[in-house]
Amino acid sequence: MYILLWMEKLYPNSFKYFEIVEKYPKEKERIMMRFSDEWKEMREKRINKEITWSEYIEWKLNYQIKEE
């Protein structure tokens, strides 16, 4: 998941965060869905200027995988 966060930076015009979920086995689907939802929310906040670029990067650097 962490690599996916940074792929966005390396390939900003070709990487789509919402395409990743379907590529994982069922047992990891819930974790990936949660990750995808959180990432989408943070991206939208950055695009809408609700958070700064620095805050977005900070979120990426400190992202914790939530296995519930």
pLDDT digits (tens, 9 = 90+) for 36-62: 889 889 999 999 999 999 999 999 899
Distance in angstroms (rounded) separating the CA atoms of residues 45 and 43: 5
Distance in angstroms (rounded) separating the CA atoms of residues 24 and 31: 10
- pTM (2 decimals)? 0.65
Distance in angstroms (rounded) separating the CA atoms of residues 62 and 68: 18
Which of helix, strand or coil describes residue 24? coil
Nearest alpha carbon to residue 55 among 64, 45, 65: 45
Distance in angstroms (rounded) separating the CA atoms of residues 36 and 4: 10
- Mean pLDDT score across all residues of the chain: 78
